[in-house]
Amino acid sequence: MDHQTTETFDQNAREALTDEQLRAALRNLVTTFGERRKVAITTVDDWEGLRERARAIKDETLTHLDKYLEEFADNAERAGARVHWARDAREACAIVLKLLRERACEHIVKSKSMATEEIHLNAALEAEGLAPVETDLGEWIIQLAHETPSHIVVPAIHKSKKQIAELFAEKVGIEPTDDVAVLTSTARRVLRQCFAEADAGISGVNFGVAETGTFLILENEGNARLTTSMPKIHIAVMGIEKIIPRLVDLDVFLKLLPRSGTGQRLTSYQSLITGVKKSVDDEGPEEVHIVLMDNGRSRMLSHPVTRQSLACIRCGACLNACPVYQQIGGHAYGSVYPGPIGAVITPQLAGIKKAAQLPYASSLCGACREVCPVKIDIPELLLHLRAEIAEGTTVGTADQKGPVKRKLSEQMAFRLYAFLWSHPSLYNLGTRVARLMQRTVMRNGHIGRVSGFVSKLAPPLGAWTASRDMRAVAPRSFREKWRDGLSGRR
Amino acid sequence: MVELEDNKEVRRAMLSAIREHLAASMPFDAVHDEHHAEHKANPRISSAVADEQSASPTERFRNALEAVAGHCLMVNDERAAADLVLEILGKINARRIAVSDSLLVKRVMSHVKLDAEILVDASKSELFDCDAGITSAQWGAAETGTLVLEADAERHRLASLVPPVHIALIEADKIRQTLGEVLESLSEQGRDRLSRTVTFITGPSRTSDIELTLAIGVHGPGELFVIIIEGRDK
Ligand code: SF4
């Protein structure tokens, strides 16, 4: 399935807005996770202090990422893990495929991982005849439905339990039910068989600890624990930005991540895995492989504004808080990572050409910045990316970037505006002319879809009024009022 | 299949790309830092977050665990722990039980007289058939009701995970106030003595993946009993 469909963002968003079931699911998400988060962050003494500390740790790591990555890789290898380096998605998929092929692995279980979604690992493995099974309940649901995640924490949030029951009835032959407990135990029963047979497990990574070479997975269900302990071979795919320096730094992130994401004090399970088991009698896989993946990340290091993107711990709080995400859900973004964080990292990962609309899919209200546990200034990033789009510079690799075409009429309009703005007498004349002309399209001081009356402006202003109203030019300008004395006669 | 370049070469290339990009950012960093002074306000990065608490660790542990639907029971000694284990196993009508190889579990189980199969080294397929798993825990964190299990101390990974009921035994003096304290102890072990797997467990397995409705026991145990042994009469 091709994710890079951001060309159609406007169309997707419009369709999503008419999907009543989706909107109900999103309302549920916002109230449930939003409220739980609000309560959860009051259970630590100094939330602000924690956020700042987390950001400082991330900044320290990212500005010395080469050093910490080497430390992580060397320590993981000392403990018996094999570390593989992948510059891009193609290399990462090829490494995983080669490992599975060489060991003749046939039955593969996966636990939820956005990094493997990002590189479309399942599709790459399926193309070679392998059939990895997603074992996180939400991921399994969307895998059965041949869909993609619509949220980075709760991937099947867009599906109702009725749809899920119908899906299970069709795919695994249960009686339709609206009992969530029955649906859940169905997943347990069916997937246990997969775990019993599995010869390889694939997971993502939440944090990699440089001083010990440990990688950490957070979860609630237990499928990541099963994935990392039942099969003979484990492969963990991680972005290079997941590193933190020390084991004790986990304290800060374990306080922030669950509270921000699901409003929990802590998720049910954390697995800290350091290399491979010490003796054959120990439990766990015989081989542990770590795939360290760049895939567009390192170039985000080249500017402090874009570098922030790499501090993200994928908690999902900015999605839940975003008024745009709340209305349209994750699929409308057409990218693996939706919501505010998706709008900033997709153009950087996939190239601006493929995602030029995403940095505009935001009202810059700042709600994402407010909730972000690592204090990423997403509005600042959005503006930075918009500027790069406007200038046709620097985002993405050479073949991905290049000027994003803006409409000639839009460019002309801005030039005209700039010219008028810098010539006061012409500007004043312009407002007077506009006041006369707008009479034909104005209702109640607005231009647009007002009280059943749809007025259209000529391009490029028409694009503005296609989705929102425009304030008409005031009867008297501020300058005119000022000249006549502000409190003076009307 | 894609031809892969030598891993060492790719490592070198990736690290030098990182260095180049970081170098490119230096001129911007200076300007940017002035505008973002607050991020520099805390140059000493990280340590366990301070936490003062009046409640005893065991009380606090119990409250936190019960808040996430775990059961917490306190006893004075190992014999009393054995009685509780017997009671729980009886209630769930356990026929087959997986136990870890920890000494505490061994001692407590020696008092448990039960007509059931007790497997110390259950195979994977046997584990799927077990009604309960019994382990100990090397640490507890009171603030969250979290158990910390180290693979070097006991083979806990599957016994605490696969059966539908997990019973965990912990000595009261192993419970610290915060997870930060536990992380510090783990880190003091040093990278070579750190267990290859450390598992943190807070309550039973859960999911909210269907309409955000909470369901307990999706892949891991649906019930978690923690028995805290106070050892007051030791
Ligand atoms: S940008 Fe911040 S709020 Fe959004 S997912 Fe990342 S860490 Fe969470």
Alpha helices by DSSP H, chain B: 7-35, 37-40, 57-67, 78-91, 103-109, 124-127, 179-188
- Cβ atoms of A469 and A447 closer than 8 Å: yes
Q: Which atom of ligand 1 is nearest to the CA of A340?
A: 4
Provide ipTM, 2 decimals: 0.92
Residue A8's pLDDT is: 77
Residue B102 inside a domain? The answer is yes
Q: Whose CA is nearest to atom 2 of ligand 1?
A: A372
Token pair of A250, please? 């986990």
Q: For residue B207, give the CATH number of its domain.
A: 3.40.50.10420
| B160/B219 same-domain check | yes
Residue B217: which region, alpha, beta or left (left: phi > 0; alpha: psi -120 to 50)?
Answer: left
Whether A94 sits inside 8 A of B33 (CB atoms) is: no
| B24/B101 same-domain check | no
| B42/B106 same-domain check | no
Q: CA B67, CA B63: separation in Å to the nearest integer? A: 6
Q: CA B50, CA A366: separation in Å to the nearest integer? A: 30
CATH class for the region spanning A6-298: alpha beta
| Residue A154 alpha carbon to ligand 1 centre in Å | 14
Residues with CB under 6 A from ligand 1: A 260, 312-318, 341, 371-374, 376
Whether B210 sits inside 8 A of A65 (CB atoms) is: no
According to the per-residue pLDDT averaged within each range, which of A5-14, A475-484, B188-197 is highest?
B188-197
pLDDT per residue as tens digits for the range B104-152: 999 999 999 999 999 998 998 899 999 999 999 999 999 999 999 999 9
pLDDT per residue as tens digits for the range B70-90: 999 999 999 999 999 999 999
Chain A contact for B136 (CB, 8 A cutoff)? no
Domain count, chain B: 2
CA end-to-end span of chain B: 64
Q: State CA A446 to chain mean position distance.
A: 36
| B69/B134 same-domain check | yes
DSSP category for residue A365:
-
| B186/B219 same-domain check | yes
- Residue A487, Cβ neighbours under 10 Å: how many? 6
| B7/B95 same-domain check | no
For A422, phi and psi rounded to 5 degrees?
-95, 5
**Omega cis (within 30) before A460:** yes
| B157/B207 same-domain check | yes
Contacts of A181 in chain B (CB under 8 A): 215
Residue B1's pLDDT band (cuts 50, 70, 90): low
| Residue numbers of B between 8 and 67 with CB closer than 8 Å to A | 10-11, 13-15, 17-22, 24-25, 28-29, 32-33, 36, 38-39, 41-43, 45-49, 51, 64
The better pLDDT of the pair B4, A97 is held by A97
Please say if the pLDDT value at position A191 is more than 70: yes
Q: CA A257, CA B92: separation in Å to the nearest integer? A: 35
What residue type is assigned to position A33 of the chain?
A: F
Residue A398's pLDDT is: 44
| B87/B167 same-domain check | yes
Closest of A117, A157, A61 to residue A349, by C-alpha: A117
Residue A114, SS3 per DSSP:
helix
| B32/B145 same-domain check | no
| B32/B60 same-domain check | no
pLDDT per residue as tens digits for the range A263-321: 999 999 999 999 999 988 889 999 999 999 999 999 999 999 999 999 999 999 999 99
What HEC string does B68-93 produce? CCCEEEEECCHHHHHHHHHHHHHHCC
Whether A247 sits inside 8 A of B183 (CB atoms) is: yes
Q: Domain span at residue B28? A: 2-48
Q: CA A343, CA A337: separation in Å to the nearest integer? A: 8
Whether B157 sits inside 8 A of A226 (CB atoms) is: no
- The pTM of this model reads 0.87
Q: Which helix (H) or strand (E) holds B199?
A: strand B197-201
| Residue A318 alpha carbon to ligand 1 centre in Å | 5
Where in chain A are the domains?
A: 6-298, 420-488
Name the residue of A308, A318, A377 whose CB sits within 8 Å of the most ligand 1 atoms, as the mutation to test its pocket: A318
Residue B234 inside a domain? The answer is no
Residue A406's pLDDT is: 54
Q: Whose CA is nearest to atom 8 of ligand 1?
A: A315
| B17/B81 same-domain check | no
Residue B218 inside a domain? The answer is yes
| B109/B134 same-domain check | yes
Q: Which residue of chain A is at minimal alpha-carbon distance from B18?
A: A298
